[in-house]
A and B are shown apart, each in its own frame.
Chain A
């Protein structure tokens, strides 16, 4: 933590020396896309640098980085992949930037105390637990709700962005999505799955590729400022202490 603060201070100190506009590519987990776009827009206006946002499932982006994808920063939906990248020597800095929250949404209301009936014969969309941390949280939530997965049809897709699109196109009755996507979806029913799954700590990595790129280090520092934390909190996330 102290390391990160120091880093941020250094960036702020040296910012005037790096006035030339630079580009950085930031890969973000699908759940954080709209929030990252907001943050990037504000950062671009402040700094004059350009941020390109790329999105996908956390596991997919991790594999892409292993295969040479030119990303400077990776905002993951878990702590596992960032830790792996650090082990592999690809991380210049690493910290938790948000705590993800999952919601159950649906076309009809569900009594969370007795949800089994409402799900019978329905189609439920969730992210694939093997590549998407929100999928893992969704399976934990289903267990916590005491749902019997044999009584309804589960549709697994690669990330929460696709879950949202399946629900929005009318192809699912219920869906487990990131709370940050609720504004976009405006569902008839929504319930927070808070405490029904282990907290989704979302770690970011300043990749070694971006360590000497002022646009990347600048955005990395900006992510942990109070202004950025307010944007993150207002978008449906917890923020780390």
Chain B
């Protein structure tokens, strides 16, 4: 069996998820890093939930919300003619939820590391809040941004339980690499299982090494 459709699908999912999630995570992380609002701990807790919840819990709720019998699922079915569940769009939504903490947390840490004074100096020198964010905070937090992007991408590639529950196992449509491995093991196709598993292992190791290498360089530069 050819493994390329699964690899291609997984890459598409990871790219789309990373782009959308960074767009969501940037303002959210910025707000979390700077706000004194009493609701901050609640928002932080919600953001971190996917880290501790079993994928089955996320998968179950997403299945319920996106089902054609639920308002959201019914609406999308009416507009597009396709169900949200067992579709690529459904997988993207599930991945956005599942990978949220991996996008927000490194960015939030990076923004917090910049310090209030730096931003306030910029403001005193006449920068608008938008200027201060775009030209001061963002460049200073670029390493956090990169870490967010890499971790979100890698984490989405390794997704399994949520995808299986929300997307099922449809070749070319929802069968991502991890599910292809599951299928290969179930059908005793160990050659495919070995190839893909080794591929993911090497990929994950490389990504993590890059992240830690980058972190270390960051420390050296600051020192």
Provide the bound-state CA to CA distance between A54 and B172, in Å: 11
Q: Which chain B residue shows the least CB distance to A52?
A: B171
Provide the bound-state CA to CA distance between A161 and B83, in Å: 28
The interface stretch among B33-41, B149-157, B181-189 is B181-189
Provide the bound-state CA to CA distance between A168 and B170, in Å: 25
Provide the bound-state CA to CA distance between A56 and B85, in Å: 16
Which of A56, A67, A185 has a CB less than 8 Å from the CB of B63? A67
Residues of chain B lying within 8 A (CB to CB) of residue A25: 170
CB <8 Å contact, A67 and B169: no
Chain B, interface size: which category?
20 to 34
Provide the bound-state CA to CA distance between A194 and B73, in Å: 45
Q: Which chain A residue shows the least CB distance to B82?
A: A70
Q: A25-B170, A54-B168, A56-B169 are in contact. Are A68 and B188 (CB under 8 A)?
A: no
CB <8 Å contact, B169 and A55: yes
Q: Is A150's beta carbon under 8 Å from chain B?
A: no
Q: Is A6's beta carbon under 8 Å from chain B?
A: no
Which of A56, A68, A162 has a CB less than 8 Å from the CB of B73? A68
Residues of chain A lying within 8 A (CB to CB) of residue B73: 68
Q: A30-B186, A161-B187, A162-B186 are in contact. Are A68 and B168 (CB under 8 A)?
A: no
Q: Is B77's beta carbon under 8 Å from chain A?
A: yes
Which of A55, A69, A70, A164 has a CB less than 8 Å from the CB of B188? A164
Report which residue of B85, B87, B170, B185 has the largest number of chain A beta carbons within 10 angstroms of its beta carbon.
B170
A129-168 to B contact mask, C-beta < 8 Å, 1/0:
0000000000000000000000000000000011011001
Residues of chain B lying within 8 A (CB to CB) of residue A164: 186, 188
Q: Is B91's beta carbon under 8 Å from chain A?
A: no
Write the nearest CB–CB distance from A39 to chain B, whole angstroms. Answer: 16
Which 9 pairs between the two chains have the least Cβ-Cβ distance?
A68-B83, A161-B186, A68-B68, A69-B86, A68-B85, A67-B67, A67-B85, A165-B186, A54-B170
- Residues of chain A touching chain B, judged by Cβ–Cβ distance below 8 Å, are 25, 30, 33-34, 52-56, 64, 67-70, 161-162, 164-165, 168, 184-185
